[in-house]
Amino acid sequence: MKIVVIGATGTIGAPVVEALAARHEVIRASRHGRPAIDIDDPASIAAFYRELGVGSVDAVVCAAGAGRFRPLEELTDEDFAFSFASKLMGQINVVRRGIPHLRDNGSFTLTSGVLAQKPAPGSGAIAPVNAAVEAFARAAALELPRGLRINVVSPPWVRETLQKLGRDPAGGLPAADVARAYVAAVEGRQNGAVIDPAALA
Ligand SMILES: NC(=O)c1ccc[n+]([C@@H]2O[C@H](COP(=O)([O-])OP(=O)(O)OC[C@H]3O[C@@H](n4cnc5c(N)ncnc54)[C@H](OP(=O)(O)O)[C@@H]3O)[C@@H](O)[C@H]2O)c1
């Protein structure tokens, strides 16, 4: 398969690329990559797909999209607007603009996160974004044409991320285990599923 991974250099995206590249051709995309894409910018998404061409790939994986983590009373209008524009609308637009560029029976795999189901203090903006990504995928799965599929991976805290944050990594799942859920979504037959990598590990 020919597979686009958006967020290819990230903590999650890099092991996803590594796992997929063993069996597939992978196009590594991000804001600073080649090809470049900024999912926060609809014009950048359109330009990215224009360059790829119509019906040119079998799968698009998105392991990118930002949200603001901050105490509820400190979250500003801009924090909410940013989080919804990046992680939610960014991924929705990757799907909306991407449909003509996927070959028949291709797939989209998006990213939500554990905070959708198990919010923590500080997740007032990001928890609803994650939940909405999952709701979008369930709804879109009912309507995608030509056998296209869409699924969401909902990562728990990743061990390497907790390490970077100076927190106890013991409660995190290794990024390589998280990556296996993306591979399962791309290579499997699920549609409209939310995949918990901890359940596969
Ligand atoms: N790590 C965790 O513990 C964890 C847990 C649950 C959910 N998640 C979710 O998983 C996703 C990836 O997280 P991560 O920890 O792997 O992030 P990360 O290490 O910061 O990597 C982000 C990746 O996405 C790219 N990127 C960032 N903004 C982008 C944009 N606007 N358009 C296109 N590419 C962009 C980055 O490269 P460039 O800088 O070149 O663009 C990089 O390749 C996020 O949505 C995050 O909320 C992460």
Confidence of residue 34 (pLDDT cuts 50, 70, 90): confident
What percentage of the chain exceeds 90 in pLDDT? Answer: 97
pLDDT given for residue 129 in this prediction: 98
pLDDT given for residue 163 in this prediction: 97
What residues are in contact with ligand 1 under a 6 Å CB criterion? Answer: 6-13, 30-33, 37-40, 63-66, 86-87, 111, 113-114, 155, 157-158, 161
Q: For a substitution probing ligand 1, which of 4, 5, 9, 28 has the most ligand atoms within 8 Å of its CB?
A: 9
C-alpha distances in Å from residue 74, one per residue of 69, 119, 124, 165, 187:
10, 17, 10, 21, 42
Q: Which atom of ligand 1 is nearest to the CA of 40?
A: 31
Q: What beta strand segments (E) does 86-181 contain? A: 102-111, 149-153
pLDDT given for residue 33 in this prediction: 87
The structure tokens listed for 91 are: 């991924």
pTM metric for this prediction: 0.98
Would you call 117 helix, strand, or coil by DSSP? coil
Tell me: pLDDT of 201 over 80. no
Q: What is the pLDDT of residues 91-125, one digit of tens each?
A: 999 999 999 999 999 999 999 999 999 999 999 99
Residue with tokens 């290794």: 174
The structure tokens listed for 72 are: 């509820």
Centre of ligand 1 from the C-alpha of residue 111, in Å? 9
pLDDT given for residue 102 in this prediction: 98
- Count CB neighbours of 142 within 10 A: 9
Among protein residues, the one with the nearest Cα to ligand 1's atom 8 is 113
- Count CB neighbours of 77 within 10 A: 7
Centre of ligand 1 from the C-alpha of residue 72, in Å? 23
Tell me: pLDDT of 49 over 90. yes
Centre of ligand 1 from the C-alpha of residue 184, in Å? 20
Among protein residues, the one with the nearest Cα to ligand 1's atom 36 is 7
| Cβ–Cβ < 8 Å for 200, 181 | yes
Centre of ligand 1 from the C-alpha of residue 34, in Å? 16
